[in-house]
Amino acid sequence: MADSVEIRAMTVLPAKRETIEIVTEDGLTLVGELALPASGKIAATLVTLHPLPTHGGFMDSHVLRKAAWRLPYLADVAVLRFNTRGTSSPRGTSQGAFEEGVGEAADVRAAVQFAADRGLPRRWLVGWSFGTELALMHGADLDVEGAVLLSPPLARARPEHLEAWARTGKPVTVLVPEFDDFLTPDRAVPAFAPLTQAHVIPVEGAKHLWVGEKYVRIVLDLLLAAVLPGSQALPTTVPANAVATAGDTP
């Protein structure tokens, strides 16, 4: 048997995983999962916000799922994933109905508060596509250290939301695919000008959905560099006996 194995798309690495329920201020129960480092040491916490649920986005959208499968083991990072109101996944369906990013403000607040109540340190918002809109519109004043945005469309977030983040001084890293369907790097730089501390990073060859293991690894490395400055690139192999399982169910 080989001493090490390559981390592949369906590789699940050890973590302490628990199904969770998050209750919003308007009384909805949101379903989710919390993946904690088995080591007990938490270097940072990611509160993830998934892509648009009306177009297939949910807590298991592949980059977020792979972050939860890998980062607790490889980087001592806790990953909280949940379905926003009205969103379904194999974990279940969150109560309520899709509200175009407006009512979801309560979902974002509740998720961050859940992480804070659990004592999870160094909390960061990580949004993807629609999730970036939620982070930008509703996250600036929450108890987080900053945000990482993947494929932001800037379809709902307005300059005043970016200005609110600018006033906080909290770091915001923006990963923009070269071939994004909604906002390409040449447009992203001026669009994010109101968020003066935004660090816009173009990702050559990538598309909005970050399809392909190459791009997942790039995203996770850049994400870690943002939340844990000075961190090294993630390994691409692990000891053979470290693989917890392989498949869709963490």
Q: Is residue 133, in this structure, part of any structural domain at all?
A: yes
CA–CA distance, 37 with 16 (Å, rounded to integer): 6
Question: Can you give the CATH number for the domain in which 226 is found?
Answer: 3.40.50.1820
Q: Is residue 130, in this structure, part of any structural domain at all?
A: yes
pLDDT of residue 221: 98
Residues 101/156, Cβ–Cβ less than 8 Å: yes
- In this prediction, residues 72-98 reach a mean pLDDT of 98
Exposure string for 96-109, b = 16+ CB within 10 A, e = fewer: beeeebebbbbbbb
Q: Is residue 38, in this structure, part of any structural domain at all?
A: yes
Reported as a pLDDT band with limits 50, 70 and 90, residue 247 is very low
Q: Is residue 84, in this structure, part of any structural domain at all?
A: yes
This prediction has a pTM of: 0.96
| Mean of the per-residue pLDDT values of the chain | 96
Reported as a pLDDT band with limits 50, 70 and 90, residue 149 is very high
- Of 100, 103, 139, 107, nearest in space to 123 by CA: 139
Q: Is residue 33, in this structure, part of any structural domain at all?
A: yes
Range(s) of the domain holding residue 87: 4-245
Q: Is residue 197, in this structure, part of any structural domain at all?
A: yes
- Of 195, 145, 199, nearest in space to 176 by CA: 199
User: Is the pLDDT reported for residue 203 higher than 90?
Assistant: yes
Count: domains in the chain: 1
User: Is the pLDDT reported for residue 249 higher than 70?
Assistant: no
Please give the backbone phi and psi of residue 216, each rounded to the nearest 5 degrees, phi first: -60, -45
CA–CA distance, 106 with 236 (Å, rounded to integer): 37
Q: Is residue 250, in this structure, part of any structural domain at all?
A: no
pLDDT of residue 250: 32
Reported as a pLDDT band with limits 50, 70 and 90, residue 12 is very high
Q: Is residue 25, in this structure, part of any structural domain at all?
A: yes
User: Is the pLDDT reported for residue 246 higher than 60?
Assistant: no
Reported as a pLDDT band with limits 50, 70 and 90, residue 248 is very low
- In this prediction, residues 203-208 reach a mean pLDDT of 98
pLDDT of residue 2: 64
